[in-house]
Structure 1
């Protein structure tokens, strides 16, 4: 999936493709893949396919059983574009962009709260991380201010790639205990925030992100919940 369009250009809103297969469950495989498949706490993209004057609404995208392809799941039973058909893939861009903003904001939250992450979820405008945190934060407002200060720095966001062996030699790069970094190709994608001496975060991630933190906009910490003796859930929401 290293050549997937959602990875090479997360700002691409539509793209041509060709149907290379169907699944027994009624899914459609289009390559190259524009729709991000559900994974790592980020939902699959939605949108539609267009071909020969027809339009097929897509509810979500998931990973194929082989782990190497993306499967588009129709929103309702309908005629599918035949194998070999040339189609235009169109994203629900507003939803995808909110996923990108929230995902990058959660990376910053993991910087503001420098504790192991035990779980997380991304939504269209909100998200949360679960931390190994026996005691609740003493000042939720201070956390929110620190998070928005990092957003306001308008830090550049980018990626590097390392080998799986290099990742194994640097286990501290992995912050999330519940989600394993995407593997299988021999290389692992690292998402970084901030350049050079100004870098604030570096961690394995296969999801989509904004290009600069300023694009996230204002973020509010909605609540902090107790999720057991050792875990606290911090939920965030975008202001707009």
Structure 2
């Protein structure tokens, strides 16, 4: 199974892409390049459409990485019988969903900067995000965290990406906030995400270019998940993904 070049890392704001089909197996389509982010790191896989030159359209219901080949697979709602390897297609993202993921994922980085505890889990959707922390005796206050998060968002910090040698994590283990999962070290490199002077950690997700794009948020709830673990749930204040 061929690999797709991850255009979403070069430009996470690109919504439409014309490319070629690399391979097809049942309802699984691999493209030469893709703007669709595959499920990973708590961020859902992208959805959208594949448009063929003959006018046919197929709905992409999920995007994931193949466990064996690591190829990015686009799952379509029905077998694309008239689609062949080498065909030119145009793919279009469900942009409002993806952009909400980018905003929430970036917001979760800011939350990490406010809670000085190890992260034991996390996930997000277009409507909310949650992070689990090994808090111990740390006193997490819902109203205070909401105020602090929105203050950080309002600082309009730029988000930048750096690729470093994986050995950096060996000499600086404190950069890794997740306690149970280590970040992937593809080709000996680590993708680092910097939120201005606020947060700096390895991450393979998609993010907005500036924290102001996140918009107003609030901590919806903080709940116990064991003796030491607490789950912090974030939602957009307007209740919409925009």
Fold shared per TM-score above 0.5: yes
**C-alpha distance 129-80 of structure 1, shift in aligned 2 (>3 A):** farther
| Counterpart for residue 190 of structure 1 | 192
Contact 1:125-1:238 at 8 Å conserved across structures:
yes
CA distance in 1, matches of 2:207, 2:66: 22
CA distance in 2, matches of 1:180, 1:51: 39
| Counterpart for residue 200 of structure 1 | 198
CA distance in 2, matches of 1:2, 1:120: 26
**Where do 5+ consecutive residues of structure 2 fail to align?**
none
SS of 1:207's equivalent? coil
How far residue 176 of structure 1 moved from its aligned partner, in angstroms, is 1.2
How far residue 82 of structure 1 moved from its aligned partner, in angstroms, is 1.2
**C-alpha distance 67-8 of structure 1, shift in aligned 2 (>3 A):** farther
**C-alpha distance 21-171 of structure 1, shift in aligned 2 (>3 A):** same
| Counterpart for residue 81 of structure 2 | 79
CA distance in 1, matches of 2:171, 2:101: 31
Q: Which moved more, 1:162-171 or 1:131-140?
A: 131-140
| Counterpart for residue 48 of structure 1 | 49
| Counterpart for residue 38 of structure 2 | 37
Deviations 1:22-59 (A, max 9, x none): 23x53100121210000000000000100121100001
| Counterpart for residue 119 of structure 2 | 117
**1:82-121 alignment to 2 at 5 Å?**
82-121=84-123
How far residue 166 of structure 1 moved from its aligned partner, in angstroms, is 2.0
Superposed CA RMSD in Å reads 1.7
| Counterpart for residue 154 of structure 1 | 156
**C-alpha distance 168-67 of structure 1, shift in aligned 2 (>3 A):** farther
How far residue 188 of structure 1 moved from its aligned partner, in angstroms, is 0.9
**Where do 5+ consecutive residues of structure 1 fail to align?**
none
SS of 1:181's equivalent? coil
| Counterpart for residue 207 of structure 2 | 209
Deviations 1:148-182 (A, max 9, x none): 10000010001101111222221111001233212
Contact 2:45-2:64 at 8 Å conserved across structures:
yes
How far residue 75 of structure 1 moved from its aligned partner, in angstroms, is 2.7
Question: TM-score when scaled to structure 1?
Answer: 0.93
Deviations 1:108-150 (A, max 9, x none): 0001112100000011021100000124635210111011100
Q: Which moved more, 1:219-228 or 1:163-172?
A: 163-172
